[in-house]
């Protein structure tokens, strides 16, 4: 796709702190790098730089050589969430001052995104927030809405998310419905073949499930550990082999990791700190079921019609589609096991495209190629909605 030239070179900085958010923004990074008069920089921090989680900074480093990459560490592992936030904000102050971006792009509801949006707002940088206006449980929803209020540009997945952003008092002129960028990758023909992924990661199973359980930050370490024990016992008794992936490094994740490590050596399990995003999608596409509380079970799995057993409240209210592929269960062993059995019995559902149609990057490219896009300022006023009289 060809783009018109803008009046001067603009610098777009993308901020990534996790394997998940990088997979989602990667199509936008690639598309932006093709726009004339745009300089792309990727700021890398967070889990990417931790060996425990697979040192996924290497995936970012594999981007096209024309894309500048700036790395900084915001944690060693085990710090409190507020400490990580403070370290991220501190590190970004100097980086944002040196790079002087015209646009800072953040994603989702992570601490790194909140720090980026805050520093951008304080430094007078236009901040674009991807996938705001969505519902999720625990502190994640609070962070997501706070990031939206600190942002100037809202690139949302669907009409429902756009309405919520406007409800937050944001101007409709600042909201664009582009879809979820990871769906671009999911629907592309460039995913690696499943047999190649299995060979690379030494996964011997023909039929298998995928399990990802993240810590619920409003619960205690003991409660998160008990939830992990219940899930692992249920997937073991389901008699189905599973690919298990480490949780994010939220508070309480150490308890989950302790449980996962006790299952090492089980011939029906293959456990990984992380998987390359495209490899994960290929495995998801071929899976019989997904179990846990990852947003991938709510957002990505339905695109392929893969049934999800969604445990607990972490993704509360997140799914808005019509498919029956998402089965909500509590945190007890029996609930989880029955959910797995139900999902396997019902099998795959139709493909659900609630969060995107595969054209997100194309829409983003057209947006940043438009000279009028760059004329906006960081000034904001509250957009009042009409009040209905009782």
5 lies in a domain? no
The confidence score (pLDDT) of residue 6 equals: 47
- Are residue 204 and residue 328 in the same domain, yes or no? yes
The confidence score (pLDDT) of residue 123 equals: 96
389 lies in a domain? no
Q: What's the rounded Cα separation, in Å, for the pair 306 and 284?
A: 8
The confidence score (pLDDT) of residue 247 equals: 93
Number of domains in the chain: 2
- Are residue 82 and residue 173 in the same domain, yes or no? yes
For 334, the domain range is: 194-346
- Are residue 176 and residue 198 in the same domain, yes or no? no
Give the CA dihedral 299, 305, 311, 313, nearest 10 degrees. 40
Q: What's the rounded Cα separation, in Å, for the pair 143 and 118?
A: 11
What CATH number corresponds to the domain at position 370? Answer: 3.40.50.2000
Q: What's the rounded Cα separation, in Å, for the pair 324 and 106?
A: 31
- Are residue 157 and residue 262 in the same domain, yes or no? no
- Are residue 90 and residue 223 in the same domain, yes or no? no
383 lies in a domain? no
Residues of the chain where predicted confidence (pLDDT) is lower than 70: 1-7, 137, 316-324, 389-390
The confidence score (pLDDT) of residue 64 equals: 85
385 lies in a domain? no
- Are residue 286 and residue 368 in the same domain, yes or no? no
DSSP 310-347: EESSTTTT----S-S-EEEE-SSHHHHHHHHHHHHHH-
122 lies in a domain? yes
293 and 211 Cβ atoms separated by less than 8 Å: no
48 lies in a domain? yes
- Are residue 170 and residue 200 in the same domain, yes or no? no
- Are residue 150 and residue 278 in the same domain, yes or no? no
Closest CA to 247 of 289, 288, 295: 295
91 and 105 Cβ atoms separated by less than 8 Å: no
30 lies in a domain? yes
Give the C-alpha distances (Å, rounded to integers) separating 19 from 283, 301, 328: 16, 17, 25
- Are residue 171 and residue 201 in the same domain, yes or no? no
387 lies in a domain? no
Between helix 221-237 and helix 253-262 the angle, nearest 10°, is 30
- Are residue 98 and residue 208 in the same domain, yes or no? no
- Are residue 25 and residue 174 in the same domain, yes or no? yes
Residue 281 tokens read as 């999608």
336-383 residue pLDDT tens:
999 999 999 998 878 888 889 999 999 999 999 999 999 988 998 899
Q: Is 300 helix (H, G, I), strand (E, B) or coil?
A: coil
pTM for the model stands at 0.88
Q: Is 75 helix (H, G, I), strand (E, B) or coil?
A: coil
- Are residue 253 and residue 340 in the same domain, yes or no? yes
Between helix 138-150 and helix 111-123 the angle, nearest 10°, is 20
The confidence score (pLDDT) of residue 53 equals: 87
């Amino acid at each position: 796709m060809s783009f018109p030239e803008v009046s001067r070179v603009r610098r777009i900085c993308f901020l990534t702190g996790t394997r998940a958010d990088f997979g989602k923004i990667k199509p936008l990074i690639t598309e932006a790098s093709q726009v004339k008069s745009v300089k792309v920089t990727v700021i890398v921090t967070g889990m990417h730089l931790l060996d425990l989680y697979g040192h996924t900074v290497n995936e970012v480093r594999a981007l096209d050589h024309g894309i500048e990459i700036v790395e900084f560490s915001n944690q060693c592992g085990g710090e409190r969430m507020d400490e990580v936030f403070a370290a991220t904000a501190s590190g970004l102050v100097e980086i944002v001052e040196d790079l002087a971006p015209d646009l800072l792009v953040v994603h989702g509801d992570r601490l790194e995104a909140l720090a980026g949006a805050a520093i951008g707002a304080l430094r007078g940088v236009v901040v674009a927030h991807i996938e705001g206006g969505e519902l999720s449980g625990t502190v994640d929803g609070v962070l997501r809405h706070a990031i939206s209020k600190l942002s100037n540009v809202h690139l949302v997945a669907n009409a429902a998310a756009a309405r919520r952003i406007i409800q937050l008092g944001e101007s409709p002129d600042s909201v664009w419905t582009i879809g979820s960028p990871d769906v671009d990758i999911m629907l592309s023909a460039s995913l690696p073949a499943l047999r190649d992924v299995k060979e690379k990661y030494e996964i011997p199973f023909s039929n298998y499930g995928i399990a990802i359980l993240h810590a619920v930050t409003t619960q205690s370490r003991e409660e998160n550990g008990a939830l992990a024990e219940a899930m692992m016992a249920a997937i073991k008794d389901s008699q189905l082999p599973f690919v298990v992936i480490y949780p994010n490094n939220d508070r309480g994740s150490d308890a989950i990791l302790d449980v996962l490590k006790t299952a090492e050596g089980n011939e029906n399990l293959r456990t990984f700190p992380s998987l390359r995003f495209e490899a994960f999608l290929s495995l998801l596409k071929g899976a019989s079921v997904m179990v846990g509380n990852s947003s991938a079970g709510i957002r990505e799995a339905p695109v392929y019609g893969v049934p999800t057993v969604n445990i607990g409240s972490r993704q509360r209210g997140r799914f808005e589609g019509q498919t029956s592929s998402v089965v909500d269960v509590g945190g007890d062993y029996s609930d989880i096991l029955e959910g797995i059995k139900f999902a396997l019995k019902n099998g795959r559902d139709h493909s659900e495209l609630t969060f995107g149609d595969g054209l997100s990057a194309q829409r983003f490219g057209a947006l940043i190629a438009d000279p009028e896009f760059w004329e906006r300022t960081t000034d904001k006023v509250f957009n009042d909605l009409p009040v209905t009289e009782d």
